[in-house]
Amino acid sequence: MKKKKIISFVILILVVFTLAWLLQKLLMPKYMTKIVEGALISEYYEEKNKDHDVIFIGDCEVYENFSPITLWENYGITSYIRGSAQQLIWHSYYILEDTLKYEKPDVVVFSVLSMMYDKPQKEAYNRMSIDGLPLSLTKIKMAKASMLPEEDLITYIFPLLRFHSRWNELSEEDFEYWFKKDQIAHNGYLMRVDVKPAGSFPKPRKLADYRFGDICYDYLDKIVKLCKDNGIELVLLKAPSLYPHWYEEWDAQIVDYAQKNDLLYINMLDHLDEIGLDYSTDTYDAGLHLNLSGAEKSSVFLGKILKEEFNLADKRQDNYLKAIWQEKADAYYKMKEEQYKELEDYGYLLKFNLKRAEEDNRQ
Amino acid sequence: MKIKIFAILMSVVILLAGCGSNSQNADPTPAPSATTTPGAQEPKPAAEEKSIYYFSYNGIDIYMNDVAKPILDALGEPMHYFESPSCAFQGMDRVYTYNGFELYTYTDGDDDTEYVLTVVFMNDGVETNEGITIGSKLADVISKYGVKFVQDGNKYTYTNANTNLSFVIENDEVVDVSYNLIVD
């Protein structure tokens, strides 16, 4: 009788947890349309072959501006972009720490734009960087480092506790992608083929203090140490985005830091002609981010430097990798074709202009 | 027995889903608009008490968090217009450039209504209601606004209601003047 009770209790617990898990899966945002950037972090864990020469960490300046497919096709470099929207430097550090549990790349490229933020900005950005990580001590440390005062750590361990209130906002998307999500990115690269030429920008504001925050330097030191301890070359990178303004005073600090720590720093804004970027055709939002043609140009430029500086082997003759990357390239060119078709049919990309598409449908 | 188990089961699930933190908080799913402009912060509508710090231009009073459209209509065609979609957000931060100043607006949630976020002086062609402009001396600022400022490096900020009025000083001279909506 006692044994039966114990079994019933165990079953009860299992059923409760299964139900809670199902509910959590249903209620968490899927990021499959409109705000697709939220799906980037979790996609990495679906990768079959987590063995890359180069790992990028950073914000939109990496996941919008570089194409791993181009790096493969031109140099035989395998890479993955572990980027997320407004990824702050403490996010980057813990995402790197988590990545190193799965693989040891030869090179890590860190986008330095996030040095300008020394405080968490918004819970939604935290969610997009943190929720996609599997539960681990790293994730808990990352959440603790990132949370705004009104956030609770427990909600990063059990996101259901945060998202339960979405029950009355559930949409078709939530049910469609309850268990299986679409692939959004290409090894972390978020493709857009549309074009919006760059014009002029607001005058850069005078800042009260140009020095990056102490906490940013602390985390940069930690990234340097993490890479050194694992025998990884670290590259500091300023991507060729024209806005927000990259101040000379900021640049000088990164130059200085790179010198002191014997790191390679590439400010791609200093090489725009060499890269061949044309901001009337190579950006989809007037110079903030590159479109596909821009990302491919910037990847050709960066790939050459990475290959020469770090003697990365050309792996295009490796049959195993060749097959994997062919599959990836197929998906890449299929999406490219689909996006051009959408542009032709609608004049804009549906996934990124859902509101506009809904309005057009109503008319 | 089965009903009992079912009841317990449902209670636990409901408890699990219903408890937890800050249920009064907004859905953390991204909503539009988060500025990427250095020096400006992400907006959040504040209480609508009118601040004593507001910018006037050609008889048009511009308070932070005011609905922007009537102001923009009154100001007329800007010399330049710039829009900045933020990473992952469908909303837009917009910058309208007029003779002597830039007006930043933001949108909130799915609502396309623009609200005033920031006014920044670009040159000494405009001045605060108290007569401070680019090139004024720090002593002038203090004599007009008093000593109740918060100093952060070389930035002096005066606060009232939902507005911060900030002056950046270099070599004893004002080099930047901005009215900013306060962000919690």
The closest of A188, A216, A215, A226 to A108, measured between CA atoms, is A226
Query: Which residues in B lie closer than 8 A to residue A155 (C-beta atoms)?
Result: 20-21
Q: Give, in order, the Cα–Cα distances in Å from A328 to each of A47, A143, A188, A337.
A: 11, 32, 12, 14
pLDDT (average), residues A72-76: 98
- Helix/strand/coil for A336: helix
- Written as six digits, the tokens of B28 are 């953390």
Pairing of strands B163-170, B155-160: antiparallel
Contact: B21, A206; criterion CB under 8 Å: no
Beta-bridged to residue B159, according to DSSP, are B164
In angstroms, the separation between the Cα of residue A231 and the nearest Cα of chain B is 32
Pairing of strands A54-58, A79-83: parallel
pLDDT band for B35, please (50, 70, 90 cuts). very low
Instruction: Tell me which residue range forms the domain holding A288.
Output: 38-120+184-362
pLDDT at B24: 41
Nearest residue of B to residue A129, measured between CA atoms: B88
What CATH number corresponds to the domain at position A217?
3.40.50.1110
In angstroms, the separation between the Cα of residue B45 and the nearest Cα of chain A is 14
Q: Which of A164-178, A190-204, A345-359 has the lowest mean pLDDT?
A: A345-359
Computed over every residue of chain A, the mean pLDDT equals 94
| CA B135/CA A326 separation, integer angstroms | 61
pLDDT at A87: 96
Beta-bridged to residue B82, according to DSSP, are B95
Contact B179, B66 (CB under 8 A): no
Query: Which residues in A lie closer than 8 A to residue B86 (C-beta atoms)?
Result: 86
pLDDT at B40: 44
The per-residue b/e assignment along A153-167, b for 16 or more CB within 10 angstroms, e otherwise, is eebbebbbbbbbbbe
pLDDT at A277: 97
Distant-in-sequence, close-in-space partners of A351: CB < 8 Å, separation ≥ 6? A33, A34, A36
pLDDT at B41: 46
Contact: B88, A86; criterion CB under 8 Å: yes
What is the DSSP annotation of A240-295?
Answer: S---S---HHHHHHHHHHHHHTT-EEEEGGGGHHHHT--TTTSBSSTTSSB-HHHH
In angstroms, the separation between the Cα of residue B136 and the nearest Cα of chain A is 15
Distant-in-sequence, close-in-space partners of A83: CB < 8 Å, separation ≥ 6? A40, A56, A57, A58, A59, A60, A62, A63, A111, A188
- Helix/strand/coil for A297: helix
pLDDT (average), residues A282-311: 96
pLDDT at A33: 81
| CA A251/CA A98 separation, integer angstroms | 28
Contact: A152, B155; criterion CB under 8 Å: no
Number of domains in chain A: 1
Flag whether A337 is in a domain. Answer: yes
pLDDT at B23: 40
Flag whether A130 is in a domain. Answer: no
CB pairs under 8 A between A and B: 148
Q: Give, in order, the Cα–Cα distances in Å from A217 to each of A139, A212, A280.
A: 21, 7, 36
Given a cut of 60, is residue B18 above it in pLDDT?
no
pLDDT band for B76, please (50, 70, 90 cuts). very high
Contact B180, B40 (CB under 8 A): yes
Contact A95, A58 (CB under 8 A): no
Flag whether A238 is in a domain. Answer: yes
The closest of A322, A319, A239, A300 to A74, measured between CA atoms, is A300
| CA B153/CA B136 separation, integer angstroms | 18
| CA A50/CA A59 separation, integer angstroms | 21
Question: In this complex, which of B22, B38, B40 lies closest to A245 when CB atoms are compared?
Answer: B38
Question: In this complex, which of B8, B42, B154 lies closest to A122 when CB atoms are compared?
Answer: B42
pLDDT in tens, B115-154: 999 999 999 999 999 999 999 999 999 999 999 999 998 9
Contact A18, A168 (CB under 8 A): no
Distant-in-sequence, close-in-space partners of A180: CB < 8 Å, separation ≥ 6? none
pLDDT at A86: 92
Flag whether A179 is in a domain. Answer: no
In angstroms, the separation between the Cα of residue A85 and the nearest Cα of chain B is 5
Beta-bridged to residue B120, according to DSSP, are B102, B178
| CA A103/CA A169 separation, integer angstroms | 38
Contact: B90, A19; criterion CB under 8 Å: no
pLDDT at A165: 86
pLDDT in tens, B92-121: 789 999 999 999 998 876 678 899 999 999
pLDDT (average), residues A153-173: 90
Flag whether A96 is in a domain. Answer: yes
Query: Which residues in A lie closer than 8 A to residue B95 (C-beta atoms)?
Result: 202
- Written as six digits, the tokens of B7 are 């009841």
The closest of A6, A12, A3, A7 to B5, measured between CA atoms, is A12
pLDDT in tens, A223-270: 999 999 999 999 999 999 999 999 999 999 999 999 999 999 999 999
Nearest residue of A to residue B178, measured between CA atoms: A205
Flag whether A32 is in a domain. Answer: no
Question: In this complex, which of B13, B22, B37 lies closest to A150 when CB atoms are compared?
Answer: B22
In angstroms, the separation between the Cα of residue B162 and the nearest Cα of chain A is 19
Query: Which residues in B lie closer than 8 A to residue A160 (C-beta atoms)?
Result: 16-17, 20
The closest of B103, B17, B10 to B56, measured between CA atoms, is B103
pLDDT at B8: 59
pLDDT in tens, A94-147: 999 999 999 999 999 999 999 999 998 889 899 999 999 999 999 999 999 999
Flag whether A356 is in a domain. Answer: yes
Query: Which residues in B lie closer than 8 A to residue A285 (C-beta atoms)?
Result: 85
Given a cut of 50, is residue B60 above it in pLDDT?
yes
Tokens 């007037």 belong to residue: A286
| CA A77/CA A253 separation, integer angstroms | 30
pLDDT at A35: 85
pLDDT at A352: 81
Question: In this complex, which of A19, A155, A169 lies closest to B20 when CB atoms are compared?
Answer: A155
Given a cut of 50, is residue A11 above it in pLDDT?
yes
Given a cut of 50, is residue A290 above it in pLDDT?
yes
Contact: B16, A59; criterion CB under 8 Å: no
Peptide bond into A244 cis (omega under 30): yes
Given a cut of 90, is residue B21 above it in pLDDT?
no
pLDDT band for B84, please (50, 70, 90 cuts). confident
